Amino acid sequence: AAKEKGKDNYQFYTKQLSLDVQTRLNLEQELLHALERKELHVEYQPQYLLETGEVKGVEALLRWDSGILGKVSPDDFIAIAEETGVIVKIGYFVFEEACKAYKKWRDEGFLLERVAINISAVQFREEYFLEKLKDILVRTGVEASAIEIEITERFIMEYSTTNLTILEDLRTLGCQISIDDFGTGYSSMSYMKQLPLDTVKIDKSFIVELPENTHDAEVSKAIIALSKSLGYKVVAEGIENAAQEQFLRENKCDFAQGFYFAEPMDEKQFLDFLKEKGIKNPSHS
């Protein structure tokens, strides 16, 4: 019986394994056609100024609803998009969609300080990256200062003079630069000073057990203090309850984003959300 069980386990294992490889191949194959099949769209999650509770910004988050595979999480497909290089095209799509959405909201009288857009290191390698972003900004009528580029710590690991030059060029253009998922990678504190940054985003893994987890509480406090001492804004992501919000507000984190406030919404839902909140900017009617 033990032998049989072992055999079953083995079969189960190989089945799982082949399924994973197959799933991966399917993802890869389907992802190549996702854009042309219009299976991709962008959602927006508000960022709140903790001091006042006002919505000041928004993060653009890519969504894929595959006709064949159903909804696929970015955590499952972004890496594949990067490996296959299709992230370059998809990245321009996200950038343009986010600009158009920002412009639409602004035309309705809602002037947000920024729309944050996740950019992969792979996109930076594309020859005309900066030119194309500029072109999209001009075409959509959005000023660069409204854009915050989110890069990850992995990006910094791949830190190269080219990357740094592009970051500096983006900043010269007027974009803001944000470092995402801060604390999860291996980026040394010294990079933080060398990079042209405006914002640090505390990774949600440090938020989830706040305030009880004393280690996470200390790490969060340290990231806030360090960032502020370097002159950067701090955004916490993944706030799911009032206790987390209170902890972050008390410890002077600037902005917060999370399901506790609002889940990501499509462009139209986000406009309704802004209307409902009634936070029209008085200087822009």
Applying CB under 6 A, the residues found at the interface with ligand C2E are 45, 61-62, 73-75, 78, 94, 118-120, 150, 180-181, 204, 237-240, 257-259, 264
Query: In whole angstroms, how close is the CB of 17 to Mg ion at the nearest point?
Result: 27
For ligand C2E, give the closer residue by CB, 39 or 180: 180
For ligand C2E, give the closer residue by CB, 74 or 141: 74
Query: In whole angstroms, how close is the CB of 28 to Mg ion at the nearest point?
Result: 21
Q: Does 267 bind Mg ion (CB under 5 A)?
A: no
Neighbours of 48 (CB within 10 A): 24
Say if strands 70-72 and 54-66 run parallel, antiparallel, or are unpaired. Answer: antiparallel
Q: Which two tokens stand for residue 3?
A: 């032998």
Give the contact letters, 223-262, x = binds to Mg ion (CB under 5 A), - = no: --------------x-------------------------
State the binding partner of 267 from Mg ion, ligand C2E, none, CB within 5 to 8 A by kind: none
Could you tell me the CA-to-CA distances from 188 to 56, 119, 225 in Å, in that order? Answer: 29, 21, 16
Q: How far apart are CA 200 and CA 63, in angstroms?
A: 24
For Mg ion, give the closer residue by CB, 142 or 235: 235
Q: Does 181 bind Mg ion (CB under 5 A)?
A: yes
Query: In whole angstroms, how close is the CB of 282 to Mg ion at the nearest point?
Result: 30
Could you tell me the CA-to-CA distances from 212 to 216, 225, 240, 256 in Å, in that order? Answer: 8, 20, 14, 19
With contact defined as beta carbons under 8 Å apart, do 42 and 267 qualify? yes
Structure letter (DSSP) for residue 85: S
Give the contact letters, 107-146, x = binds to Mg ion (CB under 5 A), - = no: -----------x----------------------------
Q: Does 216 bind Mg ion (CB under 5 A)?
A: no
Q: How far apart are CA 175 and CA 172, in angstroms?
A: 7
251: Cβ contacts below 8 Å, ≥ 6 apart: 220, 221, 224
Q: Does 199 bind Mg ion (CB under 5 A)?
A: no
Q: Does 180 bind Mg ion (CB under 5 A)?
A: yes
Query: In whole angstroms, how close is the CB of 158 to ligand C2E at the nearest point?
Result: 14
Q: Does 153 bind Mg ion (CB under 5 A)?
A: no
For ligand C2E, give the closer residue by CB, 64 or 110: 64
Helices (H), 142-261: 153-157, 161-173, 189-194, 214-229, 242-250
211: Cβ contacts below 8 Å, ≥ 6 apart: 217, 243, 244, 246, 247
State the binding partner of 10 from ligand C2E, Mg ion, none, CB within 5 to 8 A by kind: none
Q: Would you give the distance in Å from CA 281 to the centre of its chain?
A: 25
Q: Does 82 bind Mg ion (CB under 5 A)?
A: no
Query: In whole angstroms, how close is the CB of 203 to ligand C2E at the nearest point?
Result: 7
